[in-house]
Chain A
Amino acid sequence: MKLYSENEIVDAVVIGTGAGGAPLLSRLAKAGLKVVALEAGEHWEPSKDFATDEVSQAKLFWTDERLSAGEDPLHFGNNNSGIGVGGSTLHYTAYVPRPQPDDFHLYSDFGVGVNWPIGYNDLEKYFDEIEQFLGVSGPADYLWGAKHKSSYPLPPLPLNGAAQLMKRGCDKLNIKTSPAANAALSAPYFQKDIGWRAACTNRGFCQAGCTIGAKANMDVTYIPLAVYHGSEVRSKSFVTEFELNNSDNISAVVYSFNGKMQRQKCKNVFLCAGAIETPRLLLINNIANSSGEVGKNFMAHTGMQVWGQFEEDIRPYKGIPGGLISEDTHRPKDADFAGGYLLQSIGVMPVTYASQVARARGLWGEALLQCMRGYNHTAGINILGDCLPYPNNYLELSDEMDSRGLPKPRIYFSIEENERRLNIHAEKILREIWSAAGADDIWSYNRNAHTIGTCRMGNDQQKAVVNSEGKSFDIPNLFIADNSVFPSALSANPALTIMALSLRIADCFLDKMKHR
């Protein structure tokens, strides 16, 4: 790996190496720019460092404490934010459906929420490029949304028990289903400039880290590509401060490495730390916030799960967790709410499931033990749906300091009428599917997933933090590329869109540089 001196003024510092930071890092490096990525966590070697064990793999989660407020306080930690080279992709389930074109103009269609300043067409070529590069496994013809210009490069992964059962239930109710698009390899795959990656071996522990590189985390895809093209990746580097020059540009990024403060001089900064740490860092430094919108418009997908037990042996620890999808509920005809949702089957790891049973069902004693003795017969369906932005859902800095002496973030989150109606609609369908498939002991877990919003992109600098190319309205050499810039939640899992935005922001930047 190429190394840069801290005194050298590099072309760009990229903060964060997840789905937001890694793709653009590779793009800038490929264009010949001197780029350094700063990542708060470790650079793991999964084949040696990872175990099939949920508790020890909690090292992949961002565990600095967040204060969870509001009527529907979010459970951060697992499932929401990651740490380590690769960011949250280290523990994502690799579920990569594309958003649909109408996801980008919710306001035009429903008069609520907001439109994006860009549309599906602006991101389409990136979806194609990313799917080919990652080696996405999926159906030859996808049933919903815009027709893809190129098919998924690999056939779908095999369906596990939960996926087969969801198909059975949906077939009886005439709900169309399809094997899902997953960024995990159904066959060995060659990536130019990186080499071969091995096929998925059906370990269902995607959320505890992939040990063989079959899952397309950033640490086995865009990060090695970036390094191949001359980027440096500095792990264990936690950014705390920005130094600004007289013309309000960032001139250096300050970070702690092994407890020591370091600074890297730079010409540009790409902030890709996710929808909590990105606004937190801006608020701590009190920059890029003339709009007052930093930290506002926080969203989390509606993510209701319905669980059931079946006569059949399922063994929910096997196979890609999200094997099957339906988008028939993308814009339901009988909806009394704006937007919509998708359905996915879910396998689940035992400790994760037990913890949900404890928190959501409150079972203990013999009732808990009995419920868990049915673990091998358990399968779930999950929705992934819209969530509108509201003024009372936001992030602020609390008065409580963390171990680094920085204020802990406090996040307010409450769902409102639109989300409640969507959840009621979804729960009814999910329960019907599970009943039709033969489940008993059906129960629902009303949860919200993913962190979205807080540094909205838009055309009006009074109402947005960055423009449609990810550039700060206040600081000319600061760019934001992660889920914080999403103006609306989209009824699709966010990873693919974050990567597409990342590449687009890099291309817009490079294009401007060329014409300067």
Chain B
Amino acid sequence: MRNDFYPPGSVRALLNTDSVTPQTRDILNGRLQKKEIINPCFFNKEMFVTLRHICERLIPQPNRLHKVDLPGFLDEMLFKGEGNGWRYNQMPPDNEAFIKGMQGIEETSKLMFDAPFILLDITNQDKVLHSIQKDLAPGKTWQTIPSNLFFEELLAQLVEIYYSHPQAKEEIGEVAMADANGWQKIGLNELEPREPKALNK
């Protein structure tokens, strides 16, 4: 497996050039400038704090001054109620599934370690999350929604939010947005000057 690291700022530096179309620039700038959500609209405050801790385990951002506001983006998405076109038949509608799922995580945490999720150390937090992902989690909640499917939905939503954010794109050296004039060099090992090179190369 590669383990490339790319310089920070690569996407932000390109956003104000003519390599990016105005409509693409507006959308990415909108994400960059979005203020962190303190008061959630969909989750209650307690759940929102737990969600923040879960996000740190699923998609850690330890060295970042301004983190991608994963809980905030998810809260906003669920509040708007924009679906993605399908759901597993065994799952309730998204708004119900995410509330129950968050309750289920707390229940499992208390059953496994006798403490709320946010007070667990990260090793135990990960144990809770693994048991939920593998459909082995204790708790009555999971009799009404399959824990593995909830975990898959939660993870997929967070991952889609994260990798659509310019800061995550910089992390993986992805500058697909800089295509206003198309790409000429598209073969193996062919890079255009605006494509960032990995630091460890």
Residues of A within 8 A of B (CB): 48-56, 58, 61-70, 73-78, 80-81, 158-161, 164-165, 200-205, 211, 309, 312-315, 317-319, 349-351, 354-355, 357-359, 362, 364-366, 368-377, 400, 410, 440-441
Instruction: Tell me the number of A-to-B contacts counted with CB atoms below 8 Å.
Output: 192
How many B residues touch the partner, as a band? 35 or more
> Are A315 and B191 in touch, CB under 8 angstroms?
yes
> Are B156 and A359 in touch, CB under 8 angstroms?
yes
B123 within 8 A of partner (CB): no
With A63-B85, A76-B86, A160-B186 already in contact, the answer to whether A373 and B164 are too (CB < 8 A) is no
**Among the listed stretches B44-52, B55-63, B102-110, which one makes contact with chain A, having 4 or more residues with CB under 8 Å of it?**
B55-63
> Are A65 and B83 in touch, CB under 8 angstroms?
yes
B193 within 8 A of partner (CB): no
Chain A residues closer than 8 Å to B57, beta-carbon distance:
364-365
Chain B residues closer than 8 Å to A370, beta-carbon distance:
1, 3
> Are B84 and A51 in touch, CB under 8 angstroms?
no
With A54-B164, A203-B182 already in contact, the answer to whether A368 and B4 are too (CB < 8 A) is no
> Are B85 and A62 in touch, CB under 8 angstroms?
yes
List 25 interface pairs A-B (beta carbons < 8 Å), by A numbering: A50-B23, A51-B21, A53-B24, A64-B85, A65-B85, A68-B88, A73-B89, A77-B84, A158-B187, A202-B183, A202-B186, A309-B1, A312-B188, A315-B191, A317-B174, A349-B176, A350-B163, A354-B160, A362-B152, A362-B155, A364-B155, A369-B59, A372-B163, A373-B6, A376-B2
> Are A66 and B86 in touch, CB under 8 angstroms?
yes
B181 within 8 A of partner (CB): yes
> Are B159 and A368 in touch, CB under 8 angstroms?
yes
Instruction: Supply 5 further A-B pairs (C-beta < 8 A) apart from A55-B161, A76-B86.
Output: A65-B87, A69-B89, A359-B152, A372-B171, A373-B6
Chain A residues closer than 8 Å to B164, beta-carbon distance:
53-55, 351
- Among B162, B177, B198, the residue within 8 A (CB) of A52 is B177
B27 within 8 A of partner (CB): yes
Chain B residues closer than 8 Å to A67, beta-carbon distance:
86-89
Chain B residues closer than 8 Å to A350, beta-carbon distance:
163, 169, 172, 174, 176
> Are B159 and A355 in touch, CB under 8 angstroms?
yes
Chain A residues closer than 8 Å to B179, beta-carbon distance:
52, 201, 203, 205, 317
B141 within 8 A of partner (CB): no
Chain A residues closer than 8 Å to B89, beta-carbon distance:
67-70, 73, 410
B28 within 8 A of partner (CB): yes
With A48-B23, A52-B177, A376-B174 already in contact, the answer to whether A354 and B162 are too (CB < 8 A) is yes
A75 to B, closest residue via Cβ: B86
Among B153-201, those with CB < 8 Å from A are: 155-156, 159-164, 169, 171-174, 176-177, 179, 181-191, 195, 198
